[in-house]
Amino acid sequence: MRRIDVGAIREDFPILSTRMNGKPLAYLDNAATSQKPRQVISAISEYYGRYNANIHRGIYKIAEEATEKYIESKSKLARMINAGSSREIIYTRNATESINLVALSWGEANIRRGDHILITEMEHHSNMVPWMVLARRKGAVLDYVRLGKDYNLEMGSLEKELSKNPKIMAFTHASNVLGTVNDARSITTKAHKAGALVLVDGAQSAPHMGVDVRGIGCDLFALSGHKMLGPTGIGALYGKEELLERMEPLLTGGDMIRSVTYESFEWNELPWKFEAGTPNIAGGIALGTAVDYINKVGIGRIRAHEESLTSYAIERMGRIKGVKIFGASDHDANGRAGIVSFAVDGIHPHDVSQIFDGEGIAIRAGHHCAMPLVTQLIKEPALSRMSFYLYNTEEEVDRAVAAIDKVKRTFKL
C-alpha cells in the first residue's frame, strides 16, 4: 500500500501553520476533535456566500442547489459506511445526540421494568449516561461487560451478560481512552442471538478505519462529523430502514411532517422524519466534503499511517523510565486505534499537559469523558492522551517524547 503524502496533506490544513506559545503547533488531540482542511472550510463559506437558502422549501435556483448538496452529502456518508441507502442516515448534532435519540425514542417505547440494557466498562459517558437515565426512569437493569487485565472485553463476561437476554446492547467500536478496537461483527452476532438490538458507537472508528455497517450487522451506528475533518454541530445516526420506520421521531415540527390538519398529522418519510426544523445545512454539506477528502486519501492508508505513528510512539515512550502506557496490548500498536494514554509517575496529567502546551504540543489531560474507566478500573485520577490522525508526523512524536523528558527534568524525576 502506497504511503500517504503527509507533507502535501498538511498544506491543506491552515491551522497547522500556526504557532502555539511561540512554537510550531503539534496537534495531538484528534480523539477530541480533528482539524479541518481548507476544502471543508471553503464548503461552509461557499454555502453561506453563494447559495444560502433553506432546503426542501424554495422552488428557486439557490434553494434547489442547497437541497441537492445536502441530500448528496447523505449519499456520500451512506456509501462510506456501506449503509443500504441515504434513507438510513439521520443527521444529528453529534454521536452523543444520536445515542440519546435512540434511548429516548426506541428506549421509551421498548424498555420495560426489569428489562436488561447492556453496555461495557470502557464506554464514553455519551454511551453510558443515556442508558443510566433510561434504566432509572423505566426501572430497567443496566449491566456491564467487564474488561480483562489486557484492557480487552472479557468474552466470558460477555456471554454471561448476554444470557440475561438484554433488550439492547450498546458498545464502542474503538475506545477513546484505551485504543481497544472491539470486534464489532462478532459482538453484534452474539448479541443478536441473545435477542438484543445492537447500537455501535463509531465516534472513534468512522474517521480512522473502514466501517461497514452491513458487514458488522448492527442495527444502529452513531458518529460525529467533527472528529472526521467535518465541522462541529453535525453528526449522524445510521439505522436499519425497517427499524427507523418503527421508531417515533424525538422532535416534532417543520420538515418532519408530510401533512397536517387541525385534527391530525402524518410523519414525513425517512430520513426527514427525524430532522425537525431547519437543519445544519452548511454542516451537512461540509461533512460531505470531509467524506470526499477522506476517500481521496484512502481510509486504509489513513489507518496504516496511524498504526505506524502509534507503534513509533509506544516504542519511544516505552524507553522512558517512569512512563506507564495504558491500553490494549500496552506496548503493541497492532490492532489498536491511534490513541496512546499514559501517566508519568508522580506527576499529575494537568501538569504534563501544561508543559506540553509550553512546547507547542496539544494533548488531552483528564478522564476523557470516561470517568469510571479511568478512576475506578485504571485507578488513576486522570491520564494524559496523545491521539493521531492523517496529518501527524514522527517528528511530532519526537517532540512529544522530548516534552516528557522536560516534564521529568522540571519535577526533578
Q: 61-81 and 281-297 are packed helices; what angle lies between their axes, rounded to 10 degrees?
A: 40
Would you state the cell numbers that stand for residue 291, as one nine-digit string?
467524506
Alpha carbons 59 and 2: distance in angstroms, whole number: 46
Q: 344: closest CA among 296, 413, 260?
A: 413
What is residue 412's three-state secondary structure? coil
Q: Can you say whether residue 196 is alpha, beta or left, with left for phi > 0 and alpha for psi between -120 and 50 degrees?
A: beta
- Residues ≥6 apart with Cβ < 8 Å to 367: 373, 374, 375, 382, 383
DSSP designation for 248: P
Angle subtended by helix axes 281-297 and 299-317, to nearest 10: 80
What is the spatial distance between Cα 265 and Cα 86, in angstroms, rounded to a whole number? 24
Out of 9, 66, 369, 403, the active site residue is: 369
**Sign of the alpha-carbon torsion through 399, 400, 403, 405:** negative
Annotation marks residue 369 as catalytic:
yes
Which residues have a Cβ under 8 Å from the Cβ of 142 and sit 6 or more positions away?
116, 117, 118, 119, 131, 132, 135
Q: Which residues are tagged catalytic?
A: 369
